[in-house]
């Protein structure tokens, strides 16, 4: 069961993951990425309210170097 309702999740995603989905603080930090199979995830934490969640990233393209 998620501690975030769908509205908070949508607001977080639409805002580019810049603010805590619980309290709205911009004091958030992430751990290292875990990737494989076309997606990646990163555990995130709010430094103000101690909320913890996982960002999920999906491969959408590549860049030529």
In this predicted structure, what is the pLDDT of residue 1? 43
The pLDDT of residue 10 is above 80: yes
- Threshold 0.85, pTM exceeds: no
Confidence (pLDDT) at 2: 55
DSSP 8-state assignment for residue 3: S
**Cα 55 → chain centroid:** 3
pLDDT tens track for 14-62? 999 999 999 999 999 999 999 988 899 999 999 999 999 999 999 989 9
CA-based R_g, the chain, Å: 13
């Amino acid at each position: 069961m998620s501690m975030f309702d769908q509205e908070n999740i949508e607001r977080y995603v639409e805002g580019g993951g810049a603010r805590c989905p619980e309290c709205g603080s911009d004091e958030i930090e992430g751990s290292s990425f875990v990737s494989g199979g076309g997606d990646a995830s990163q555990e995130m934490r709010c430094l103000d309210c101690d909320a913890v969640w996982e960002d999920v990233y999906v491969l959408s393209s590549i860049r030529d170097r």
